[in-house]
């Protein structure tokens, strides 16, 4: 059968990961990689409509989809299939900026991405946990590409950036002198503790020009989801191939570099490690992980 996988815009994080996974699966299946408007939300809606078998998503959206919370109009029988990666999200400023920590953005102009995007929702979540109102700074809604131009021109003071590696951020770092904002004492601990779908993610020194020392940022667990109607055997086969090829996927696409380590967490932490917001693993995925000795 044809396996349809929902990703993001062409060249985006999910699209690159979807193409790499598709190349693994094409040994046995026809695979269609779909670029989906709205990425995480759009893929969940297409799973609901029966237009996809799998979709990439930031883990903070799957609980909302399951419960039918805004922007979803009704509950979706979405199920977890596999982790994809943990990517650091961060605020970038020009190197000559007088902003150094998150709280310094109060009263300043900050690009927080498009109003209806998942990345904007991350800023709402993080600032909400930190007790920082959007009235305390001047939010600007624009694409990553537009935000880069505004930051370079000095029209904004900081830009919210999606997980690296991404070509927009790499282009910015190679074009201008930049720095990454740090969290204040206890702030990162608070965010990770209160939002179960976030983790600590370290941006290593040298990962971008201008990142001269390791910095801890909020990491979002990106995942591959499916629908309860997708046959158990298909999910079992797809996830089994993904587990078997975790190392090769990491070598083919750097966004999968930590995939084998993420799978290994199942063995030490159990299935709940990939159950954000009460989301359960698809039975086919459970079977694949048991086949691989990752779950009892």
Return d(Cα 200, Cα 198) in angstroms, integer.
7
Q: Given the DSSP bridges, would you call strands 158-161 and 78-94 parallel, antiparallel or unpaired?
A: antiparallel
The mean predicted confidence, pLDDT, of the chain is 93
Q: Residue 296: pLDDT above 90?
A: no
Q: Given the DSSP bridges, would you call strands 2-6 and 30-34 parallel, antiparallel or unpaired?
A: parallel
In 3D space, the residue among 61, 93, 160, 147 whose CA is nearest the CA of residue 120 turns out to be 160
Return d(Cα 249, Cα 16) in angstroms, integer.
11
Q: What is the pLDDT of residues 182-241, one digit of tens each?
A: 999 999 999 999 987 888 999 999 999 999 999 999 998 899 999 999 999 999 999 999
**The tokens of 134 are what?**
């959007």
**The tokens of 60 are what?**
């903070």
State in words which class domain 87-220 has: alpha beta
Return d(Cα 140, Cα 191) in angstroms, integer.
23
Return d(Cα 245, Cα 73) in angstroms, integer.
37
- In the chain, which residue ranges form alpha helices assigned H by DSSP? 13-25, 40-48, 62-67, 118-130, 144-153, 167-175, 187-194, 232-244, 246-252, 259-269, 283-291
Summarize the confidence of residues 80-106 as an average pLDDT: 95
Residues present in the chain in total: 296
Q: What is the pLDDT of residues 47-66, one digit of tens each?
A: 999 999 999 998 888 988 99
Return d(Cα 148, Cα 146) in angstroms, integer.
5
Domain ranges of the chain: 2-86+221-291, 87-220
**The tokens of 150 are what?**
């505004």
**Choice between 34 and 71, residue whose per-residue pLDDT is larger:** 34
Give yes or no on whether 2-86+221-291 and 87-220 have one common fold. yes
Return d(Cα 99, Cα 161) in angstroms, integer.
16
Query: CATH classification of 2-86+221-291 is 3.40.190.10, yes or no?
Result: yes
Residues ≥6 apart with Cβ < 8 Å to 152: 94, 172, 175, 176
In 3D space, the residue among 94, 150, 144 whose CA is nearest the CA of residue 119 turns out to be 144
| DSSP for 144-190, written as a single string | HHHHHHHHHHTSSSEEEEPSSS-HHHHHHHHHS-EEEPBPPTTHHHH
pLDDT score at 156: 98
**Choice between 95 and 10, residue whose per-residue pLDDT is larger:** 95
Q: What is the pLDDT of residues 112-161, one digit of tens each?
A: 998 878 789 899 999 999 999 999 999 999 999 999 999 999 999 999 99
**The tokens of 243 are what?**
């587990």
Instruction: Give φ, ψ of 101 to 5 degrees.
Output: -125, 165
């Amino acid at each position: 059968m044809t396996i349809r996988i929902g990703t993001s815009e062409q060249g985006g994080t999910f699209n690159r990961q979807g193409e790499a996974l598709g190349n693994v699966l094409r040994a046995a299946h026809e695979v269609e990689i779909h670029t989906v408007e709205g990425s995480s939300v759009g893929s969940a809606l297409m799973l609901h409509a029966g237009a996809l078998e799998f979709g990439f998503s930031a883990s903070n959206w799957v609980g909302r989809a399951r419960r039918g919370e805004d922007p979803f109009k009704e509950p979706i029988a979405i199920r977890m299939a596999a982790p994809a990666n943990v990517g650091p999200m961060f605020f970038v400023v020009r190197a000559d900026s007088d902003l150094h920590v998150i709280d310094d953005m109060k009263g300043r102009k900050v690009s927080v991405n498009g109003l209806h995007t998942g990345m904007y929702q991350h800023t709402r979540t993080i600032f909400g946990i930190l007790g920082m109102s959007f009235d305390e700074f001047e939010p600007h809604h624009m694409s990553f590409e537009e935000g880069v131009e505004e930051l370079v021109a000095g029209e904004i003071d900081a830009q919210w950036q999606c997980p690296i590696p991404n070509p927009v951020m790499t282009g910015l770092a190679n074009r201008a002198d930049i720095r990454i904002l740090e969290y204040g004492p206890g702030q990162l601990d608070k965010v990770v503790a209160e939002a179960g779908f976030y983790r600590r993610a370290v941006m290593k020194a040298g990962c971008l020009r201008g990142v001269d020392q390791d910095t801890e940022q909020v990491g979002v667990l990106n995942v591959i989801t499916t629908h309860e109607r997708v046959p158990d055997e298909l999910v079992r086969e797809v996830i089994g191939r993904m587990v078997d090829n975790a190392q090769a996927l990491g070598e083919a696409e750097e966004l999968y570099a930590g995939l084998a380590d993420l799978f290994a967490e199942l063995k030490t932490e159990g299935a709940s490690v990939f159950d954000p917001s009460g989301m359960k693993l698809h039975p086919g995925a459970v079977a694949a992980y048991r086949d691989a000795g990752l779950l009892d």
